[in-house]
Amino acid sequence: MSNRIKVTVIIPNYNGLKFMEPCFKALDLQIYHKFQILVVDNGSTDGSVEWLKEHQIPTIFLDTNTGFSGAVNVGIRAAKTPYVLLLNNDTEPDCHFIGEMVKAIERSPKIFSVSSKMIQMYHKDKMDDAGDMYSLLGWAYQRGVGRSSGGYSHPCRVFSACAGAAIYRREIFEKIGYFDEMHFAYLEDIDVGYRARIAGYDNVYCPHAVVYHVGSGTSGSKYNSFKVRLAARNNIYLNYKNMPFLQLLVNVLPIGAGMTVKYLFFKKRGFGADYLAGVKEGLETAGKCKKVGYRPEHLKNYLAIEWELFTGTLLYFYEFSLRQLEKRK
């Protein structure tokens, strides 16, 4: 059996010192050993730099915060292994995690990414993410979030892997492009997964690769001005980049309806102005994005994606309804 290192575990870090020790302890306990670790530090000022140097962890130190996309791109380009596994610093993977991820991605050369079973760190009976989905309304969402972690036990295709704990086939980035650094953070994993789907690759979910996730470890909260503005802007980028003109035309009404609902949702929580600022910035700067060129041979993939957006919309409302019913019990 070959002892060749197959995986580079890339951990982007920005002021995540408090998460370092438990994350690396969990990596030390992995049963699968054919991996190496590479941290990309985004100009931390909380003592992370000193901790990483003291513990002699392989790290690329950046002078400024380039965001999630910029940091992981540096790591992916530096990696020499067939697979790269992106892992948020606020996670603790189960001891079988890396081995199960490798096993899942090696099932087919058409698999671009594998999303793990992410469980809430402080509510281990609840799911955090079972793969990311997208909808006709322009809403990206975490499949399974808030539902019982006893479920979601079957492998399946998903729209995109959640990059907080996902493995990718490195060579495909050369074909479809890396994480879009215009995104900085938020929806960048949906975007790269979308591009992979256009090119005919699959993104799948592995229920056997379990990781516990704190969530919002860098931004600090589920909703804040920074996150709402960037997500609204990046949503504009996501649709503009990946949808050909005809597909945008077909979907403009549901996307517009989805944006209206989101604005009302964030207005109620005091972030309405931030959401509108993000949309405005997105509309003004979308032209700077590298749009995916339409190729006739990808028509069947666009049709499959449109169907996935439809079924993703149904799944969103199904899971939302179940969560509301569970809250009333």
Three-state SS for 116? strand
- Give the type of residue at 192: V
Do 42 and 97 lie in one domain? The reply is yes
- Quote the domain boundaries for residue 57: 7-213
- 49 part of a folded domain: yes
Q: What is the CATH number of the domain that holds 73?
A: 3.90.550.10
pLDDT reported for residue 221 = 60
**Is there a contact between 35 and 98 (Cβ–Cβ < 8 Å)?**
yes
C-alpha–C-alpha distance, residues 126 and 150, integer Å:
8
Question: What's the structural domain count of the chain?
Answer: 2
Do 168 and 259 lie in one domain? The reply is no
What is the mean pLDDT for each group of 10 consecutive residues in the chain (329 residues)?
85 96 97 97 96 97 95 98 97 98 98 98 95 97 94 97 98 97 92 98 98 70 87 96 96 97 96 97 96 96 97 95 83
Do 191 and 310 lie in one domain? The reply is no
Do 296 and 197 lie in one domain? The reply is no
pLDDT reported for residue 328 = 78
Half-sphere exposure of 61 (CA within 13 A, CB side): 12
C-alpha–C-alpha distance, residues 65 and 16, integer Å:
13
Do 20 and 90 lie in one domain? The reply is yes
pLDDT reported for residue 2 = 60
Do 135 and 155 lie in one domain? The reply is yes
Do 171 and 260 lie in one domain? The reply is no
Strands (E) located in 148-293: 156-157, 165-169, 202-213
Do 114 and 251 lie in one domain? The reply is no
C-alpha–C-alpha distance, residues 161 and 203, integer Å:
6
pLDDT reported for residue 215 = 78
C-alpha–C-alpha distance, residues 188 and 72, integer Å:
11
Do 181 and 266 lie in one domain? The reply is no
pLDDT reported for residue 59 = 98
- 61 part of a folded domain: yes
Do 21 and 165 lie in one domain? The reply is yes
pLDDT reported for residue 110 = 98
pLDDT reported for residue 1 = 43
- Boundary of a domain, candidates 189, 213, 237: 213
- 2 part of a folded domain: no
C-alpha–C-alpha distance, residues 47 and 179, integer Å:
27
C-alpha–C-alpha distance, residues 254 and 175, integer Å:
31
Do 200 and 238 lie in one domain? The reply is no
